[in-house]
A and B are shown apart, each in its own frame.
Chain A
């Protein structure tokens, strides 16, 4: 973790931050491991009272490499880019990542991705993917082809 100081700084700002619908929860696993509770308020697809839990783990190469991000918990939000095992098909979590982004920007992107969702469905290849998906979504080879949603 060459950039430990950056993670510490991010932790400091995340704890002070107040963004409506986002709650950053530190874990006991270290400064590189976060939970984020996301509430979606103005989208009829999602229950505004229900918080979806996002797990964010910044690896040893962070911020040069993107962190590992997935939904966890009982309820995974319905979205054409979110698989039922919690994996998210989003380019900034893979090829689109740049070190200028941060844990905060990822959480905001995912929140707005759900906010703007109009389709109450899973990805078309959901079953096929989760049958052989690796534990870590970063190990999957993603193809970001669908820009409509």
Chain B
């Protein structure tokens, strides 16, 4: 994740960051599993890969078998939630740190996130024409090369479906963040964001809503707000009209919390708009009714593979020393494994190939969001390609780099000059050795006779 929480007023964020990070790949968990012996967590893929070479827990070294790891669906959801929302959380914390950029004239490092909000505003302004909520806006808009964009998960908006969904849900209702205190003459005390909800009027059109989608993850935020507008209206949370019929609304802390939680639901929908079952809400609904893992996998992979696919359960480990190459190939057919592209007849390669497929396949079954079989095959082919390169490199290294240094020198010489020249050069030494060997043999024979 690499969100620099330690530099904010909320350094505890680091702890969450590291809690959802796998110790092997140093990435946020994907399909996390937990050891039932020592209760350490890893990505399913990482720990299976690690256990295939050594049966012990990487953190505490206790003996651990692959059968002793259990998947943790809730940890996967937590990780996903954090992955999607950490950048926004970070922006919020930064804002708490520095609510009014005007006051911190001496501190230039801080207001970057506010600049994003400014840009959001600029976007609005450019598409809507002049639109000022306060006279002080001009002074705040700063042209900036904005490093903070790095933290915004662009994935959220790259789905073309979002635009299709948008009119349905938000009904041309547009919203965005505004950071300035000056815009709010709202009676409620606000520590949190203020949100401007621009209601549907003649000046707002579809283009404008597209503009919002382009502004990174605020697109999803606005969608949320669009949906939730009625709720706020009913609540009467400090509405205020200005000359352009804009309603300025504040969120108190409670609402804000709920916003963050629910928003994940929203962003999941945006990402997997084709597969709405993946939303957090659905996940929460699912958990009480303790579904067996295989059925939940089936429900989510239905698009990609038929539900009666014999390969929807975990693959067993094979004992390759007991199997011949044709037998291995039979097994490949049985488990529906794509045939290797290289070295199809080398038992060693087939074994490594199968084991890699096993790790990929079994770890995919631990995920709440499994990938399709075609994607697994693609990863397998990628592994095979790298493996092939490695072998090639190793052979080169063995020829030239490695091995006993003197031995190596001789071998190089041998390669260069050919065996005959080598024989000529070392003939004397060779003959000397032969002579000595004969002598010692004769001596030992003589010793025996005596």
Q: Which residues of A contact B (CB under 8 A)?
A: 1-3, 5-6, 9-10, 12, 60, 63-65, 96, 98-100, 132-136, 139
Number of B residues near A (Cβ < 8 Å) is 24
Within 8 A of A (CB), among B140-166: none
**24 A–B pairs (Cβ distance < 8 Å), ordered by A:** A2-B383, A2-B386, A3-B25, A5-B26, A5-B27, A6-B25, A9-B2, A9-B26, A12-B2, A60-B386, A60-B390, A63-B24, A64-B50, A64-B53, A96-B61, A98-B56, A98-B59, A98-B61, A99-B46, A99-B50, A100-B58, A134-B404, A135-B405, A136-B402
Residues of chain B in range 41-90 having any CB-CB distance to chain A below 8 Å: 46, 49-50, 53-54, 56-59, 61
Listed from nearest, the 4 A-B pairs whose CB atoms lie closest are A98-B58, A100-B58, A100-B23, A99-B24
Given A64-B49, A99-B50, answer yes or no on A132-B26 (Cβ-Cβ < 8 Å): no
Report if B344 contacts A (CB, 8 A).
no
- B25, A134: Cβ atoms closer than 8 Å: no
Q: Which of B23, B383, B403 contacts A99 (CB 8 A)?
A: B23
Alpha-carbon distance A3/B43, docked complex (angstroms)? 13
| A60-B390, A134-B402 known; A100-B53 Cβ under 8 A | no
Chain B, Cβ-Cβ closest to A5: B27
Q: In residues 367-398 of chain B, which contact A (Cβ within 8 Å)? A: 383, 386, 390
> B401 on the interface (CB 8 Å rule)?
yes
> Which residues of the other chain, A, contact B57 by a CB distance below 8 angstroms?
98
Interface centre among A5, A10, A135 (most CB of B within 10 A): A135
Bound-state CA distance A20–B91 (Å) is 34
Determine the residue in chain B with the shortest Cβ distance to A12.
B2
A63 to B405, CA, bound (A): 28
Residues of B within 8 A of A99 (CB): 23-24, 46, 50, 58
How far is it, in angstroms, between the C-alpha of A57 and the C-alpha of B36 when the chains are bound? 34
Check A139 against B402 for contact (C-beta < 8 Å).
Answer: yes
Given A6-B26, A134-B403, A135-B402: A65 touches B53 (CB 8 Å cut-off) = yes
Give every chain A residue within 8 A of B54 (Cβ-Cβ): 98
Q: Which residues of B contact A1 (CB under 8 A)?
A: 386
A85 to chain B, nearest CB (A): 10
Of the candidates A3, A5, A99, A132, the one having the most CB atoms from chain B within 10 angstroms of its own CB is: A99
Q: A5-B25, A64-B50, A65-B53 are in contact. List 20 more A-B contacts (CB 8 A).
A: A2-B49, A3-B24, A3-B25, A5-B26, A6-B25, A9-B26, A63-B24, A64-B53, A98-B50, A98-B56, A98-B61, A99-B24, A100-B24, A100-B58, A100-B59, A132-B404, A135-B401, A135-B405, A136-B402, A139-B402
Q: Interface on chain A toward B: helix, strand, loop, or mixed SS?
A: loop
Q: Considering the chains assembled together, what is the distance between the CA atoms of A86 and B57 in angstroms?
A: 30
Q: How far is the CB of A60 from chain B (nearest CB, A)?
A: 5
Shortest Cβ distance from residue B170 to the other chain A in the assembled complex, whole angstroms: 36
**Roughly how many angstroms separate A133 CA and B405 CA in the complex, as a whole number?**
9
Complex alpha-carbon distance, A3 and B25, angstroms: 7
- Inter-chain CA distance A82–B2, complex, in Å, is 37
Residues of A contacting B25 with CB < 8 Å?
Answer: 3, 5-6
Which residues of B are found within 8 Å of A5, using beta-carbon distances? Answer: 25-27
In the complex, what distance in Å separates the CA atom of A49 from the CA atom of B444? 59
Q: What's the minimum C-beta distance from A126 to chain B, rounded to whole angstroms? A: 16
Residues of A within 8 A of B2 (CB): 9, 12
In the assembled complex, how far is the CB of residue B76 from the closest CB belonging to chain A, in whole angstroms?
Answer: 19
- The answer to whether A10 and B26 have CB atoms under 8 Å apart is yes
- How distant is the Cα of A100 from the Cα of B2 in the complex, in angstroms? 18
Q: Which residue of B lies closest to A3 (CB)?
A: B25
CB neighbours (8 Å) of B58 from chain A are 98-100
User: In the bound complex, how far is the Cα of B402 from the Cα of A136, in angstroms?
Assistant: 7
Residues of A within 8 A of B405 (CB): 135
Residues of B within 8 A of A65 (CB): 53
Cross-interface CB contact of A135 among B46, B56, B390, B403, cutoff 8 Å:
B403
Once the chains are docked, how many angstroms separate the CA of A99 from the CA of B402? 25
User: Please, how many angstroms separate the alpha-carbon atoms of A63 and B43 in the complex?
Assistant: 14
Q: Give the Cβ gap from A127 to chain B, nearest Cβ, in Å.
A: 15
Q: Which among A9, A98, A134 has the highest number of chain B CB atoms within 10 Å?
A: A98
List of A residues within 8 angstroms of B50 by Cβ: 64, 98-99
In the complex, chain B residues whose CB is within 8 Å of the CB of A98 = 50, 54, 56-59, 61
Closest residue of chain A to B393 (Cβ to Cβ) is A60
**Which residue of chain B is the closest to A60 with respect to CB atoms?**
B390
Report the Cα distance A64→B386, complex, angstroms: 16
Nearest chain B CB to A120's CB is how many angstroms away?
27
Contacts of B46 in A (CB 8 A): 99
Residue of A nearest to B402 (CB): A135
Least distance between B241 CB and chain A CB atoms (Å)? 49
Q: Which residue of A lies closest to B382 (CB)?
A: A2
Segment 387-444 of B: residues with Cβ below 8 Å from A: 390, 401-405
Known A98-B59, A99-B46, A99-B58: A6·B27 in contact at CB below 8 Å: yes
Which residue of the partner chain A has the closest CB to B59? A100
| Contact partners of B386 in chain A: CB under 8 A | 1-2, 60
Which residues of B174-190 are within 8 A (CB) of A?
none
- Give Cα A60 to B383, complex, Å: 11
- Cα of A96 to Cα of B60 in the assembled complex, Å: 11
| C-alpha spacing A89/B378, complex, angstroms | 40
Q: Distance in Å from the Cβ of A15 to the closest Cβ of chain B? A: 13
Q: In the assembly, what is the distance between CA of A51 and CA of B57, in Å?
A: 35
